[in-house]
Amino acid sequence: MQELEKKLNYTFRNQELLREALNHSSYANEHRSQGLGSNERLEFLGDSVLGFVTAEYLFDRHPDLPEGDLTRIRAALVCEQSLHEVAQKLNLGSYLKLGKGEEAGGGRHRASILADATEAVFAAVYLDGGITAASELIHRVLLDVEREEVVEERRRDYKTLLQEHIQRKAGQELTYCMVREEGPDHAKTFVTEVRLNGAAIGEGSGHSKKESEQMAAKSALEKLDNQ
């Protein structure tokens, strides 16, 4: 636990809060006789703490943005993918307590489990040290200008941009074809090729078919722009 506390740059007064934040429901169910709780309640609280801290950050940072834009950016910053990246940076998966079945199924690397645990840790820090401690942690691991730029990059719909680009000429047809899958089932990567009138013009990869299509479209746009 001390190793994780160093990564969090926070020392718990109540170590049980951190332990509970790392207990997946599968582990708690297997050890019900010991009265162990899962991290689900902390995850629920952490979601709200994260939402508030992020909303305050964006409200202060972007005084001219309307409510709709603030809501969109907040949703992107606190999405599963962002939280999964935080968990990976903290190596949170190595500290999780999982049931035997979840462990065997690759749960230690599953994005949804890691994202939920990240929210639970935020809640544990909030309960142990208050909103200031939680806010400092969230700012340190999640909220910065660079991550906002990454979020904005992800938000761009490259497929639409590519479609608009090729429609400048009549008779153009785009198709997306998944060409292969890579990696284990719990961390699979999809590789997609985008074709213009049957000829490959870009290739991209991602952890979902949709993401790989977007990356393929981005690749094609970059090539077309350089021609």
pLDDT at 200 exceeding the cut of 70: yes
Q: Does 125 share its domain with 189?
A: no
- Enter the tokens of residue 46: 């952490």
Strand partners, 23: 97
pLDDT tens figures, 142-168: 997 677 777 666 666 788 888 888 888
Q: Does 84 share its domain with 15?
A: yes
Tell me the backbone φ, ψ of residue 177, rounded to 5 degrees.
-130, 125
pLDDT tens figures, 56-86: 999 999 899 889 878 888 888 898 888 999 9
pLDDT at 7 exceeding the cut of 90: yes
Task: Give the Å distances, CA to CA, from 167 to 161, 175, 218.
Answer: 10, 13, 16
Annotated ligand binding at 116? The verdict is yes
The confidence band for 15, taking pLDDT boundaries of 50, 70 and 90, is: very high
148 part of the active site: no
Q: For the chain, what is the domain count?
A: 2
The segment with the largest mean pLDDT, out of 68-82, 109-123, 182-196, is 109-123
Q: Does 184 share its domain with 134?
A: no
Within 8 A by CB and 6+ apart from 85, the residues are none
Task: Give the Å distances, CA to CA, from 107 to 9, 95, 100, 142, 203.
Answer: 26, 12, 10, 23, 29
Of 20, 102, 119, 213, catalytic? 119
pLDDT at 173 exceeding the cut of 70: yes
The reported pLDDT for the residue numbered 76 is 83
Q: Does 180 share its domain with 144?
A: no
Indicate the average pLDDT of the chain: 90
pLDDT at 118 exceeding the cut of 70: yes
The reported pLDDT for the residue numbered 145 is 64
153 part of the active site: no
**Of 65, 28, 33, nearest in space to 43 by CA:** 28
The arithmetic mean of pLDDT across residues 130-145, rounded, is 92
The tally of CA atoms less than 13 A away on the side-chain side of residue 16 is: 3
Q: Does 124 share its domain with 193?
A: no
Q: Does 151 share its domain with 162?
A: no
For position 163, which CATH number holds?
A: 3.30.160.20
The reported pLDDT for the residue numbered 39 is 95
The reported pLDDT for the residue numbered 227 is 65
Annotated ligand binding at 43? The verdict is yes
Q: Return left, alpha or beta for 198; rule: phi > 0 is left, psi -120 to 50 is alpha, else beta.
A: left
Task: Give the Å distances, CA to CA, from 22 to 75, 120, 137.
Answer: 24, 8, 17
State the pairing for strand pair 189-196/174-182.
antiparallel
Which domain does 210 fall in, by range?
158-225
Q: Does 174 share its domain with 82?
A: no
**Of 7, 38, 29, nearest in space to 125 by CA:** 7
Q: Domain boundary residue among 155, 190, 209?
A: 155
Which DSSP string corresponds to 168-181? TSTT--EEEEEEEE
